[in-house]
Structure 1
């Protein structure tokens, strides 16, 4: 798998965003 710099950057944003959303949903769920 040979990714360009832009593709790696986009993939890292997606992964970080997904992780942040999972953490946020986990915190939100524990409020109730």
Structure 2
């Protein structure tokens, strides 16, 4: 959580074989921080 302190944007990278639902879950998790 402290990694994101003061940050306005972050990037999320994934491989082509990563299912969309996993990326969506990561985004939801990060938005809750």
Q: TM-score per shorter chain, which class?
A: 0.3 to 0.5
More helix by percentage = 1
Q: Which has the larger radius of gyration?
A: 1
Larger relative contact order (Cα-Cα within 8 Å, sequence gap ≥ 6): 2
> Please, what TM-score do these two structures have when normalized by structure 2?
0.44
